[in-house]
Structure 1
Amino acid sequence: MITDSVHGANLVDVVYGEVPAPGDPAEDFVEATKIRRDAMSWDAPGVRMLQTTPEMHPIIARAGQRHVSRARTELPAPMKVETSVADALDRRCSADGFADEELTLTELATLLRLAWEPRPGTGPASGTQPRRATPSAGALFPLELWVVVRRVEALEPGLFHVEMPDAGNASLTRISEVDHAALARAALQENMIENAAVTIVVSMMPWRSRFKYGHRAVRFALMEAGHLCQTLLLTASAMDLAARPLGGFCDDEVNGTLGFCGVDEVPLYLVPVGRGQ
């Protein structure tokens, strides 16, 4: 409904400040990622290739970072969560702050495994693409999960990569130390990052699905990040943990702090998690 205070004729000024000039990045992104029936073979070039090249199937099943030369911490089995979906939805809200307490390794494992572990019988060990609770276009999973640990039982603080190629194969690989103060400044909500026990980082590697879906792959990856983040948030809610999704941060500062290039791997979400105040 248009009110007297914001007339329809003024909406362009309110939204844009001025009429977008040709080459506006937001409009170009929407246009470039459209699917058109008469151009599908160009817009999604890899669909036909996958249909006609069986040799590609085991390759895409192995998609996902692995750090085999580094020490790994095996994640324990997840604890049983009894909370109903309705109760988890009812309790879900973005945390205003976190208590100065640690998480147990089992709690962190439960949060990560319920949200990201492949279903039994899927993944490279089974010769198939993984299937997870989070849907992915073509099951290509162009996302990666990272954990910035501050206070977790039995884990040294730092940046860890989450590796779950198959069901029952879940571990954390420590990659580096992290300047927590720099990450907190980059997040633009310093108290959230500084006080949380962990910060889960959802990053995008768009090239994993771009070969199949062209420019549309980026739109898919953004959707998938939302799916995954909501799964993490609802799981945290069901576990009675506090969490807050952060999507507005200084990208180059986050990239520099975590060691991402910002092109082949792009951070999309920072999700601080801990015990509520």
Structure 2
Amino acid sequence: MRVTEARWDTTRIITGLVFPIRININATRQNIDSMKISGEAEELSELRRQVYNRKRSLSDEPFVTTFRQRTFDSPDLAGVFHENTKTDRQWQRRTRKNSNELKGQLHAAAAEVDPDYPGQELLPLPDDVSLDADIGTVLQRRRSVRSHAPSPVSRRDLARVLRYGAGVSTIDEGKRKRTYPSPGALYPTEIYVAALRTDDIDEGLYYYNARRHALRVLRRDDPEEIRRDVLGGFRSGKTNDARSFDDVPLVVLLTGSFWRVKFKYGPRGYRYVLQESGHLAQNLLLAAEADGLVGFPYSAFDDEHMNDLLNVDGVNEATLYTVLLGHEAGGVRDE
């Protein structure tokens, strides 16, 4: 079972720039809902597979074997990506021209993207939460902890981690700035929360709206079913990792909404999305550490499983990273 409600995203209107048509940026949310997943995304995904045949290019041999034999495909896909997302004089010229095109209302709209799931129940999070910790101590203590105690995470703890790890920190010239750096302050990384064992929050799948500091309820389900569906995305990893997920109470899933930056920065925008997801993940891990929780960043998940779980198409928006949060096994740390 997966999320079925379409998400509204201002950027999907803005990306009309890439087509020779003009789209009204004041279009209603209802008209945009149908743009969530389309046949166009599947066609684009198929085209990409034709350009680079992953199954043909990746043999059953371990990567280290091909490295020793220096038999990576020529050119290697990673090298192709890196080479084609470099900045050069042509990119700089196009960027300057792009800046001129984006002046005025359109640029303002791009900087104030407010993605959301309209119509879904809004669950406010406590806003009167503080986080007082010595930054040096937090940095020294942070470790990736794979095993978690069966203790639930409180609603206030979750609110604290999201508020300081991903929330709005200031409003600068009308722009809402968050606690982590973002390309052009466009914030292309989306934040979903799988609550598997929490106090005062039902087991389910939620979307974090940073502007409102609240969760949109995407799915409430039988606790065992939601746990099975979420953790199923990790089962294709190493067996020892799979066992460590059994008691995790919270999973934060980060997705990238690529066109939100590619319309401004071109192919290099893809790099920026990946970089931002790393900034955000580290913020969440440090905020969790400061709050007395532990975290474990994990990216060896099953992409198609997680994309299907979140009902994202894997082309315009795709799962990039996950962060597991909870109490350290062996006892809950004192605050």
CA shift in 2, pair 1:235/1:39, >3 Å: closer
**Contact 2:194/2:230 (<8 A) preserved:** no
- Deviation per CA, 1:116-160, whole angstroms, max 9, x where unpaired? 1112324xxx7x332111101111111111100011112111110
Q: Which runs of 5+ in 2 are unaligned?
A: 1-63, 330-335
| 1:3 alignment partner in structure 2 | none
Could you state the TM-score of these two structures normalised by the residue count of structure 2?
0.71
3-state secondary structure, aligned to 1:102: coil
Say if 2:156 is the partner of 1:156: no
Counterpart for residue 233 of structure 1: 285
Matches within 5 A, 1:180-191: 180-187=227-234, 188=237, 189-191=241-243
Matching of residue 18 in structure 1 with residue 71 in structure 2: yes
Q: Residue 97 of structure 1 contacts residue 276 of structure 1 at CA under 8 Å; is this kept in 2?
A: yes
Tell me if structure 2 keeps the 8 A contact 1:255–1:261.
yes
**Would you say the 8 A contact 1:143–1:203 is kept in 2?**
yes
Pair 1:110 & 2:160 matched: yes
Q: Which amino acid aligns with 1:184?
A: L
What percent identity do the matched residue pairs reach? 26
Deviation, 1:76, is 0.3
Distance 2:255 2:85 in 1: 20
Q: Please, what is the CA RMSD of the aligned residues?
A: 2.1
Cα contact 1:183–1:193 (8 A) shared by 2: no
**Mapped contact 2:111–2:175 kept (Cα < 8 A):** yes
Cα 1:265–1:157 change in 2 (3 A) is same
1:142-181 maps to which residues of 2 (within 5 A)? 142-165=188-211, 169-177=212-220, 179-181=226-228
- Contact 2:120–2:217 at 8 Å: present in 1 too? yes
Partners of 1:36 and 1:15 in 2: CA distance: 33
Hey, what's the Cα distance between the residues in 2 that align with 1:29 and 1:209?
Answer: 17
Paired residue for 2:136? 86
Q: 1:44 and 1:260, CA in 2 relative to 1: closer, same or farther beyond 3 A?
A: farther
- Mapped contact 1:192–1:272 kept (Cα < 8 A): no
Helix, strand or coil at the partner of 1:199: strand
1:70 aligns with 2:70: no
Q: Displacement of 1:82 after TM fit?
A: 2.2
TM-score by length of 1: 0.86
SS of the equivalent of 1:211 reads: helix
Shift of 1:193: 3.5
Per the TM alignment, residue 252 of structure 1 is displaced from its structure 2 partner at its CA by 0.6
Which residue of the partner structure matches residue 179 of structure 2? Answer: 133
User: What are the superposed Cα offsets for residues 34-88 of structure 1, whole Å, 9 maximum, x if unpaired?
Assistant: 11024423367633323xx211133113313212311111110253222111010
- Closer, same or farther in 2 for the Cα pair 1:70/1:80, shift >3 Å? same
Q: How many residues align?
A: 257
Distance 1:78 1:95, change over 3 A: farther
What are the ranges of 5 or more consecutive residues in structure 1 without an aligned counterpart?
1-10
Task: Give 1:246 shift.
Answer: 0.3
Contact 2:169 2:178 in 1 (8 A): yes
Hey, which bits of structure 1, 4+ residues long, moved more than 4 A? Answer: none
